[in-house]
Amino acid sequence: MRSVVTLVVLLALVTPLTAAPLTSVIPQVQPKQVKIYGAGGYRGLEAYQSGSLISATGHVLTVWSYVLDTDFITVTLHDGRKFEGKLLAADPRLDIAVLKIEAQNLPHFELAKAPLVEAGTRVLAFSNLYGVATGDEPVSVQRGVISVRSRLHARRGVYETPFKGQAYILDAMTNNPGAAGGALTDYDGRLLGILGKELRNSQNNTWLNYAIPIPEAAKTIEDIVAGKYVNVPTEDVASKPKQPLSLELLGIQLVPDVLPRTPPYIDRIMPGSPAASTGLRPDDLVLFINGRLTAACATVRTELEYIDRIDPVSVTVLRNQELIDVQLRASADANP
């Protein structure tokens, strides 16, 4: 009987200490969350994910995914207002993307205040899992603990992901449709990380709940917000050379460009070409040309138009969830 009384007393003492902060932290964080709607996909892939406001002028941090592979991205704020989202830049190696909406005076997270925390830290996960919130409804909140901080690359072949940096492994069930891009915070409401995309163990079908620590991606995020990280050059910032590079000169043939944003998969590699000598293969997905994101076949061709055929070009492709970098140069007999 004494142990039961003691337990009741302890619960009475502990509950106010743990619950009281959450009643103020959750309402403080909710307005900084957004719901993102974009492209769906084959096999019933969801057309939504989550994001966090990181500036008063409408910069939104989220994960890089197929949902953003469209010209029509909708961002819904906590108060129900809807805005068109513009993809500023994405870094598949970090699995992050930054969108921009035209709004002012928005509540937001301060990236400079994001700490790197250790295992055992109690956390909150905010996200629009299962697309429950569609307007001014609050996003979902889960409580959990960081089980361990570990590098994800050690799980290659089991958990397939291009992100190979430090990650927070969570005991909270954040691996749900729509949760990707949500915010991981501590009990003080500080942003700790971005909820990762769904990852399943190919050997036993278990799911991994993880978040990308903000310090892992802070420099890239800051460069994107500051306009230092540009995806595609325009006539205003770059001039085309008289003799530009082309896919034909590199020996690459992409899949037929039949859609407004046809993903730039390689359809064929010409024998004896520069591309063949580097090991590029059919079905490789071209992600970057000289570090600039290429979301469609047309974007790849446009990017090459700004590179002189005598200059080397760096190409990054995605093959079986692994990022591969190669450097190509047009053969000497292709020069004028």
Q: Is 232 within the bounds of a domain?
A: no
Strands (E), the chain: 33-37, 48-53, 59-63, 73-76, 82-91, 96-100, 122-127, 140-151, 166-170, 183-186, 191-195, 199-200, 207-208, 210-213, 252-254, 266-269, 285-289, 292-293, 313-319, 322-328
pLDDT at 101 over 70: yes
Residues 89 and 148 in one domain: yes
Shared-domain flag, residues 11 and 132: yes
Same domain, 148 and 80: yes
Residue 120 within a domain: yes
What's the CATH number where 260 sits?
A: 2.30.42.10
Residue 3 has pLDDT above 60, yes or no: no
Three-class secondary structure of residue 293 per DSSP: strand
Q: How confident is the model at residue 63 (pLDDT cuts 50, 70, 90)?
A: very high
Position 11 pLDDT exceeds 50: no
For residues 300 and 172, membership in a common domain is answered with no
- Whether 220 and 251 map to the same domain: the answer is no
Cα 170 to Cα 185: distance, rounded to the nearest angstrom = 12
Stretch 66-91: mean pLDDT: 92
Cα distance between residue 38 and residue 46, in whole Å: 9
Provide the residue range defining the domain that includes 164: 2-225
Whether residues 84 and 135 fall in one domain:
yes
Find the range with the poorest average confidence among 227-241, 263-277, 300-314. Answer: 227-241
> Which of the pair, 277 or 42, is modelled with greater confidence?
277
pTM, 2 dp: 0.74
Higher pLDDT, 257 or 199: 257
- Predicted confidence at residue 104, as pLDDT, reads 95
- Residues 214, 289 within the same domain: no
Which of 167-181, 188-202, 233-247, 309-323 has the lowest average pLDDT? 233-247
Per-residue pLDDT at 235 = 42
Q: What is the CATH number of the domain that holds 84?
A: 2.40.10.120
Last residue of a domain, one of 194, 225, 256: 225
- The 8-class DSSP code of residue 66 comes to G
In angstroms, rounded to a whole number, what is the distance separating the alpha carbons of residues 166 and 100?
27
Domain count, the chain: 2
Q: Are residues 115 and 183 in the same domain?
A: yes
Is residue 169, in this structure, part of any structural domain at all?
yes
79 lies in the same domain as 133: yes
Residue 270 sits in the same domain as residue 196: no
How many whole angstroms separate alpha carbon 197 and alpha carbon 200? 10
Instruction: Determine contact, residues 152/165, Cβ cutoff 8 Å.
Output: yes
Whole-number average pLDDT of the chain: 84
Q: Residue 313's pLDDT band (boundaries 50, 70, 90)? A: very high
Please indicate, yes or no, if residue 242 is contained in any of the structural domains: no
Same domain, 44 and 142: yes
Query: The tokens of 235 are what?
Result: 């006539």
Mean pLDDT within 211-220: 92
Could you tell me if 269 and 185 lie in one domain? no
pLDDT for 301 equals 92
